[in-house]
Chains A and B, each alone.
Chain A
Amino acid sequence: MYDFDFVTPASLAEAAAALEDPEAMALGGGQTLIPTLRARLAMPSKLVSLAGLAEIRGICEDDDGRLCIGGATTHGAIARDAAERFSGLAGLAQRIGDPAVRNRGTLGGSVANNDPAACYPAAILATGATVVTHRREIAAGDFFQGMFTTALDEGEIVTEVRFPVPRRSAYQKFEQPASRFALVGVFVAEMADGAVGVGVTGAAEEGGFRWEAAEAALAARFDPAALEGLSHPAEGLISDIHGDAAYRAHLIGVMTRRAVAAAA
């Protein structure tokens, strides 16, 4: 690991100030960044720890009934504390990594990293959630901009994600068993107004996306049978040692049907 200064800010304002330095990087729970640093794939001069910032941790509801989850909230806390209000999201968080990863890794860290096989993008896209930073609010559709790329500017901190709570939802993940990332993951959400969101992760080079043909079919009838005859094209999907594009396209259909059947 290259050397760096470790900074523990006492407040979000202090963290934002420390991240004005272009050589500085934000550290969430470190479950991706620390292994990356150890592999010498990143060389920040300064690491700014966000994990201890109480003001961006925890879960609450806003006036519109949206579930607002702080960026420094761990996957484990989401699995436990969102279970009653948003079981689909809690179920997603419960299957990220392993227990030790869930005790450290954070929502904000995962979202800011935008790994193309990370789980949260599927839920954020399916529900039309809003990513909030210390500077602005960014709609789900504008936030994710391709593999490991987001709308975030340098030094911008994800303080919160606001999720409209669906009437019913579920996430189904076909795991790549060695990494436990999604080979294909699908989040299905039937929203309060009857609209349906289908968010897919792990399948495409550019990261998470919505499967709009399935959304239309499920809005007409929220039943796995509504997807009969519908398949996702293989074009543009990832082909690698774990599965080719046709296999991933097939999995998108299977995971979507399972998610609809499991939705609660």
Chain B
Amino acid sequence: MGEIAMTVNGKEVAAEAEDRTLLVEFLREGLGLTGTHLGCDTSQCGACLVHVDGALVKSCAMFAAEAAGREVTTIEGMAGKDGTLSPVQAAFRDQHGLQCGFCTPGMVMATAALLQEDPAPDVPRIRAYLQGNICRCTGYHNIVRAVLQASGQDPDRALAAE
């Protein structure tokens, strides 16, 4: 048990936590940032994805103590302060890239990480990159369209080229 301090969405935060506290628990229960979802409990679904020092990680497979002193970005850090959606979020809305929305925070964080690596990914690359994100509404097709739009590509043209 001890105090763990890190930067979350640009803000310095600190909270008491047990050593066994997962990063996802620290975010949700310690800081009240419940946008990061815990889907599967077995580290397979990707709903809990966040960025730690810019890298995509599963917050259910990392201890809060391992993120001490580091910069964490969650889904709450994606929109502008006035609520303006980020281009990735806006693309998910435009393309109906969500149904129940449970997997969406992880999908958005994964997409943002992909576009950092590859600003204009093709469809196979998008599908490969999102392998670790499960959508139980099976809305993958529109999710791929959303990623295409977010990367400035025309989804209809890119998919016609497949």
Binding site for B on A (CB under 8 A): 1-6, 8, 30-31, 34-35, 37-39, 47, 49, 51, 76, 97-101, 103-104, 178-180
Known: A6-B65, A47-B19. 16 other contacts (CB 8 A): A3-B20, A4-B19, A5-B19, A6-B19, A8-B65, A30-B66, A31-B58, A34-B22, A34-B63, A37-B20, A38-B42, A38-B60, A39-B42, A98-B132, A100-B57, A100-B58
Interface contact A6-B57, CB-CB below 8 Å:
no
Give the total number of A-B pairs whose CB atoms are below 8 A apart: 74
Which listed residue (A38, A100, A180) contacts B46, Cβ 8 A? A100
Q: Which residues of B contact A49 (CB under 8 A)?
A: 65-66
Interface contact B42-A180, CB-CB below 8 Å:
no
A180 to chain B, nearest CB (A): 7
Interface contact B58-A104, CB-CB below 8 Å:
yes
Interface contact A34-B132, CB-CB below 8 Å:
no
A11 to chain B, nearest CB (A): 17
Q: A98-B131, A99-B113 are in contact. Are A104 and B43 (CB under 8 A)?
A: no
Q: A99-B56, A100-B46, A103-B55 are in contact. Are A30 and B132 (CB under 8 A)?
A: no
Interface contact B49-A6, CB-CB below 8 Å:
no
Q: In the complex, A86 Cα to B57 Cα: how many Å? A: 26
Interface contact B19-A97, CB-CB below 8 Å:
no
Interface contact A104-B132, CB-CB below 8 Å:
no
> Can you list 16 A-B contacts with CB-CB less than 8 angstroms, sorted by A residue number?
A1-B20, A3-B20, A4-B20, A6-B19, A6-B63, A6-B65, A8-B65, A34-B43, A34-B62, A35-B42, A37-B20, A51-B66, A98-B132, A98-B133, A99-B113, A103-B57
| B82: Cβ under 8 A from any A Cβ | no
Q: Which residues of A contact B41 (CB under 8 A)?
A: 38
Q: In the complex, A104 Cα to B58 Cα: how many Å? A: 9
A50 to chain B, nearest CB (A): 11
Interface contact A101-B132, CB-CB below 8 Å:
yes
Interface contact A35-B129, CB-CB below 8 Å:
no
Q: Which residues of A contact B114 (CB under 8 A)?
A: 99
Q: Which residues of A contact B58 (CB under 8 A)?
A: 31, 100-101, 104
Q: Which residues of A contact B56 (CB under 8 A)?
A: 99-100, 103
Q: In the complex, A6 Cα to B22 Cα: how many Å? A: 12
Interface contact A3-B19, CB-CB below 8 Å:
yes
Q: Which residues of B contact A97 (CB under 8 A)?
A: 132
| B18: Cβ under 8 A from any A Cβ | yes
| B91: Cβ under 8 A from any A Cβ | no
A40 to chain B, nearest CB (A): 11
Q: Which residues of B contact A76 (CB under 8 A)?
A: 55
Interface contact A98-B19, CB-CB below 8 Å:
no
Q: A6-B19, A98-B46 are in contact. Are A104 and B63 (CB under 8 A)?
A: no
Q: Which residues of A contact B43 (CB under 8 A)?
A: 31, 34-35, 38
